[in-house]
C-alpha cells in the first residue's frame, strides 16, 4: 500500500531530483495515510533518503543495470510496485524517467500524469496539477486507474526534509534477456558541466550574439554562476550551438531558479519553454523585445558590454560572499 | 520496410492558448492546427527512408474529421496513405491503444511518433504503444539509421547523447535531430494535388481504458512588470537581496 518512488542515481550517488521526488512521495503518502518506499538501482547511500521521508528502500544492485535501460528499469519498478502493493508511483521528469514511465504505465495499466507541479489536490480521486500546452497553461488531471503514476516536474515541488529512518532491503527483480534488446553502445556526456535539466541557473544566448565565436562570454558568465548554457532555436538551427542546448517549446524546457537570456528577443515558443523558471533576467539592446514583458529584471544594453561587466561583478560578489 | 508515422494535430506553436466552457476545454477559436513539430521531424525522416531505401510510409492520427487537413498535409509531404481512428483523443493511453491496433493490423516494422505533443505534453504514446505490442522502443531519438533488420539510434540524454543498437520492429519517440529544421518540407502544388488522390482510411476505435481525465484547465497567472536596471551592480544586488537566487 505504500507510495513507491523511483529515486535516480548516477555513479552510485543520488541525483538532486531523487530527493525532490522522495519529498513529493512523502507528501502523497501523508495525504493517503501511508508510508514511502523507494526503489534505487546501484545506489550507495540509500539511508540518505530517510531525511526526505522515505521509510524503506528496495535496493537493487545488478551489474546488468549499470547502464540505464528503460525497459529493464521499468520492469524492476513494476515488480517493486507489485511487491509493495503500491497504488501510486512517483518518478522524476528526467529524460530517463520520461523514457521508462510510459513503459511502466503500459505494464501496470496505470494512468500517467507527467510534468506535475504541485502536491495532489485530492487523493480520491487522485487529482494533480500539471503543465500543459508547453507551459502556456495548466491541466488539473484526474487519474482514474487503480495504479497511478505521477511524473514530478523538475524544481517545482522542491526538497523537503522529513525525519524518517530508511530501512534498506535488498531487492532482486527478475529480468529476462528480452528486456535488454535495446542496447547502449556509447555514451557521450560532458563531464564536469552542469546539465540544463539539473541546473539551478541557466545562461542562454540568442541571435543577438551574432555568431558562435562570441559564446566565450556566455560560457564565462555560466562558469562564474555554476550555470548550464543554453540557446534559442535559431541559434541551434544555424548550428552555432548543439541541439542539446536548444530550449523552448520544441527544445528542452527550463525550470531553473534563475534564467538569464542574452540577445534573445523572446518568441512565444521560447517564452513557453522557459516560463517555469522562477526568476528571468533579460539583456537586450532592443527595449521593445517581447522578452522584457515576461522578465523579472532587465537591462537594455549591448550584450557585448553588459555581459563581461556582469561576469566581473559576479566574480567580486562571489569572492566577498564565499 | 513499412513505416507508420503517428501524427498529432496540434495548435501552431505561435498560438495563444485559451480555454472555454468553464475552463474545461481547449478553445479552438481562431487557432491554426499543424502537424505536431516532434512528429514532423519523424515524418521527414520517414520520407528519407522512402526515397533512399524504398520504404512505404503511412501516417495515422486519432481524431475526428476536423484533423483531416493536417493528415492531407502529411500526404502532400509524401506519405503514401493515411489512417484516421475516428475518436476524440482523450488521453495518451487511449491514443496509444488505438494506434497499437493500427500497427497490429498494418504489420509495420518501424513506428515513429513524436517524443511528445506540444499541446497536452503527455509524452507517453510511443512508449505505451511499444510496450503493448512488445516492440523495441527508443525515446528522445535524434538520429536513426536502419540497415536490414538492425537499427542504430542516438538518443538525447540529460547532458549528452547515447548511441543505441536494436532491431526491428521498433518504435521511436522522435524530435528535432532526426532531421534538421532546414530539412523540413513545405508541400508543393504537385504534392498537394497528389494528396487528394491518396487513400485516407477511417477506422472505428477499439475499446480502451479511461486512464486519465483533464478535468479543468487554467492559464498561468499574469506576470508583474519587469524591473529595468541600468547597471550590473544594481542587477547583482537585486538578484541577491530581492530575488535571492544568487
Contacts of A254 in chain B (CB under 8 A): none
- The answer to whether residues A109 and A25 touch, using CB atoms and an 8 Å cutoff, is no
pLDDT of residue B61: 98
- The answer to whether residues A229 and A222 touch, using CB atoms and an 8 Å cutoff, is yes
Contacts of B177 in chain A (CB under 8 A): 243
Domain count, chain A: 2
Q: What is the CA radius of gyration of chain B?
A: 21
Asked whether residue A209 falls in the same domain as residue A312, the answer is yes
pLDDT of residue A315 exceeding 90: yes
pLDDT of residue B223: 85
Nearest to B230 by CA among B238, B222, B219, B240: B238
pLDDT of residue A146 exceeding 90: yes
- Sequence-distant (≥ 6) Cβ neighbours of residue A285 within 8 angstroms: A208, A263, A300, A301, A302, A303
pLDDT of residue A163: 84
Domain assignment present for B113? yes
Domain assignment present for A279? yes
> Is B32 in the A-facing interface, judged by CB distances under 8 Å?
no
Residue B13 and residue A115: Cβ atoms within 8 Å? no
pLDDT of residue A179 exceeding 80: yes
DSSP strand pairing (B33-35 vs B9-11): antiparallel
Residue B93 and residue A184: Cβ atoms within 8 Å? no
Nearest-angstrom CA–CA distance, B194 and A114:
39
Confidence of residue A322 (pLDDT cuts 50, 70, 90): confident
> Which CATH number does the domain housing residue B196 bear?
3.40.50.620
At how many degrees (to 10) do helices B125-132 and A95-108 cross?
40
**Run of H or E residues at B76:** helix B68-77
Domain assignment present for B244? no
DSSP letter for each residue of A108-172? HT-EEEEEE-SS-SEETTEEEEEEETTTTEEEEEEE-SSSEEEEEPTTTS----B---PEEEE--
- The answer to whether residues B56 and B50 touch, using CB atoms and an 8 Å cutoff, is yes
pLDDT of residue A198: 87
Nearest-angstrom CA–CA distance, A307 and A223:
13
Residue A114 and residue B124: Cβ atoms within 8 Å? yes
End-to-end alpha carbon distance in chain B: 54
Query: Which of A75, A132, A271 to mutate to probe the B interface, most B CBs <10 Å?
Result: A132
The mean pLDDT value for A10-21 works out to 96
pLDDT of residue A192 exceeding 90: no
Q: What is the CA radius of gyration of chain A?
A: 21
**Nearest C-alpha of chain B: how many angstroms from A147?**
10
For A236-265, how does the pLDDT look when each residue is reduced to its tens digit (9 = 90+)? Answer: 999 999 989 999 988 999 999 999 999 999
Residue B127 and residue A102: Cβ atoms within 8 Å? yes
**Nearest C-alpha of chain A: how many angstroms from B199?**
30
Domain assignment present for B73? yes
pLDDT of residue A65 exceeding 90: yes
| Structure letter (DSSP) for residue B221 | P
Asked whether residue A95 falls in the same domain as residue A142, the answer is yes
pLDDT of residue B160: 92
Domain count, chain B: 1
Nearest-angstrom CA–CA distance, A123 and A113:
14
pLDDT of residue B17: 95
pLDDT of residue A194 exceeding 90: no
C-alpha cell at B44: 521527414
DSSP strand pairing (B200-203 vs A201-205): unpaired
Domain assignment present for B228? no
Domain assignment present for A63? yes
What is the span of the domain harbouring residue A209?
A: 201-321
Asked whether residue A163 falls in the same domain as residue A209, the answer is no
Asked whether residue A42 falls in the same domain as residue A176, the answer is yes
**In chain B, which stretches have pLDDT less than 50?**
none
- Sequence-distant (≥ 6) Cβ neighbours of residue B35 within 8 angstroms: B7, B8, B9, B10, B43, B70, B73, B74
> Which CATH number does the domain housing residue A10 bear?
3.40.50.620
pLDDT of residue A154 exceeding 80: yes
Nearest-angstrom CA–CA distance, A287 and B189:
41
Asked whether residue A24 falls in the same domain as residue A168, the answer is yes
pLDDT of residue A1: 87
Asked whether residue A117 falls in the same domain as residue A14, the answer is yes
Confidence of residue A106 (pLDDT cuts 50, 70, 90): very high
The mean pLDDT value for A19-42 works out to 98
Tell me the β-bridge partners of B200. B82
Nearest-angstrom CA–CA distance, B154 and A180:
17
What ranges in B92-205 are assigned the alpha helix state H? 92-106, 125-132, 189-197
pLDDT of residue A321 exceeding 90: no
Domain assignment present for A101? yes
Q: What is the CB-side half-sphere exposure of residue A295 using CA atoms within 13 A?
A: 29
The mean pLDDT value for A57-78 works out to 98
The mean pLDDT value for A10-28 works out to 96
> Which CATH number does the domain housing residue A252 bear?
3.40.50.1220
C-alpha cell at A190: 560532458
Question: Phi/psi at B229 (nearest 5 deg)?
Answer: -125, 160
Angle subtended at Cα B26 by Cα B20 and Cα B30, rounded to the nearest 5 degrees: 85
Asked whether residue A281 falls in the same domain as residue A236, the answer is yes
For B52-101, how does the pLDDT look when each residue is reduced to its tens digit (9 = 90+)? Answer: 999 999 999 999 999 999 999 999 999 999 999 999 999 999 999 999 99
Domain assignment present for A193? no
What is the span of the domain harbouring residue B153?
A: 2-221
For A208-235, how does the pLDDT look when each residue is reduced to its tens digit (9 = 90+)? Answer: 999 999 999 999 999 999 999 999 999 9
Domain assignment present for A306? yes
C-alpha cell at B79: 506519405
Domain assignment present for B41? yes
pLDDT of residue A190: 80
Distance of CA A196 to the CA centre of its chain: 8
Asked whether residue A206 falls in the same domain as residue A146, the answer is no
Angle subtended at Cα A89 by Cα A84 and Cα A92, rounded to the nearest 5 degrees: 135
Contacts of B236 in chain A (CB under 8 A): 310, 313-314, 317
Asked whether residue A175 falls in the same domain as residue A273, the answer is no
Amino acid at each position: 500500500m505504500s507510495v513507491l518512488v523511483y529515486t535516480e542515481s548516477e555513479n552510485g550517488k543520488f541525483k538532486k531530483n531523487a530527493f525532490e521526488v522522495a519529498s513529493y512521495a512523502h507528501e502523497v503518502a501523508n495525504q493517503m495515510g501511508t508510508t514511502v518506499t523507494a526503489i534505487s538501482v546501484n545506489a550507495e547511500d540509500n539511508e540518505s533518503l530517510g531525511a526526505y521521508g522515505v521509510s524503506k528502500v528496495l535496493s537493487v544492485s545488478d551489474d546488468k543495470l549499470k547502464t540505464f535501460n528503460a525497459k529493464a528499469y521499468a520492469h524492476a519498478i513494476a515488480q517493486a510496485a507489485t511487491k509493495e502493493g503500491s497504488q501510486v508511483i512517483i518518478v522524476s521528469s528526467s529524460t530517463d524517467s520520461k523514457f521508462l514511465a510510459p513503459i511502466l504505465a503500459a505494464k501496470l495499466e496505470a494512468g500517467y500524469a507527467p510534468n506535475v507541479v504541485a502536491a495532489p489536490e485530492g487523493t480520491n480521486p487522485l487529482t494533480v496539477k500539471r503543465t500543459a500546452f508547453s507551459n502556456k497553461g495548466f491541466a488539473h488531471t484526474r487519474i482514474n486507474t487503480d495504479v497511478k503514476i505521477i511524473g514530478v516536474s523538475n524544481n517545482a515541488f522542491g526538497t523537503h526534509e522529513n525525519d524518517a529512518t530508511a530501512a534498506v532491503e535488498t531487492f532482486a527483480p527478475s529480468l529476462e534477456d528480452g528486456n535488454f534488446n535495446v542496447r547502449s553502445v556509447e555514451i557521450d556526456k560532458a563531464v564536469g558541466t552542469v546539465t540544463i535539466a539539473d541546473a539551478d541557473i541557466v545562461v542562454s544566448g540568442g541571435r543577438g550574439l551574432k555568431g558562435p565565436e562570441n559564446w566565450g562570454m556566455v560560457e564565462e558568465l555560466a562558469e562564474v554562476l555554476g550555470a548550464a548554457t543554453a540557446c534559442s532555436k535559431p541559434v541551434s538551427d544555424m548550428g552555432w550551438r548543439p541541439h542539446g542546448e536548444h530550449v523552448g517549446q520544441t527544445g528542452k524546457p527550463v525550470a531553473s531558479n534563475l534564467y538569464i537570456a542574452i540577445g534573445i528577443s523572446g518568441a512565444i515558443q521560447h517564452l513557453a519553454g522557459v516560463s517555469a523558471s522562477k526568476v528571468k533576467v533579460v539583456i537586450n539592446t532592443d527595449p521593445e523585445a517581447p522578452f522584457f514583458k515576461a522578465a523579472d529584471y532587465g537591462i537594455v544594453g549591448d550584450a557585448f558590454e553588459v555581459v563581461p561587466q556582469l561576469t566581473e561583478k559576479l566574480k567580486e560578489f562571489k569572492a566577498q560572499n564565499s | 520496410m513499412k513505416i507508420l508515422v503517428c501524427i498529432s494535430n496540434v495548435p501552431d506553436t505561435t498560438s495563444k492558448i485559451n480555454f472555454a466552457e468553464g475552463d474545461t476545454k481547449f478553445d479552438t477559436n481562431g487557432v491554426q492546427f499543424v502537424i505536431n513539430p516532434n512528429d514532423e521531424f519523424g515524418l521527414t525522416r520517414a520520407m528519407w527512408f522512402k526515397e533512399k531505401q524504398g520504404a512505404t510510409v503511412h501516417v495515422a492520427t486519432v481524431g475526428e474529421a476536423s484533423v483531416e487537413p493536417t493528415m492531407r498535409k502529411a500526404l502532400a509531404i509524401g506519405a503514401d496513405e493515411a489512417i484516421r481512428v475516428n475518436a476524440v483523443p482523450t488521453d495518451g493511453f487511449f491514443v496509444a491503444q488505438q494506434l497499437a491496433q493500427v500497427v497490429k493490423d498494418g504489420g509495420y516494422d518501424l513506428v515513429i511518433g513524436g517524443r511528445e505533443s506540444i499541446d497536452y505534453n503527455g509524452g507517453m504514446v510511443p512508449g505505451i504503444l511499444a510496450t503493448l505490442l512488445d516492440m523495441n522502443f527508443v525515446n528522445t531519438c535524434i538520429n536513426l539509421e536502419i540497415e536490414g533488420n538492425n537499427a542504430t539510434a542516438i538518443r538525447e540524454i540529460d547532458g549528452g547523447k547515447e548511441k543505441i543498437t536494436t532491431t526491428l520492429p521498433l518504435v521511436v519517440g522522435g524530435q528535432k535531430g532526426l532531421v534538421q529544421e532546414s530539412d523540413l518540407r513545405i508541400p508543393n502544388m504537385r504534392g498537394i494535388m497528389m494528396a487528394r488522390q491518396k487513400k485516407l482510411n477511417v477506422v472505428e476505435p477499439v475499446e480502451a481504458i479511461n486512464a486519465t481525465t483533464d478535468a479543468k484547465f487554467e492559464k498561468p497567472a499574469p506576470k508583474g512588470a519587469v524591473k529595468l536596471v541600468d547597471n550590473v551592480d544594481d542587477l547583482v544586488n537585486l538578484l541577491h537581496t530581492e530575488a535571492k537566487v544568487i
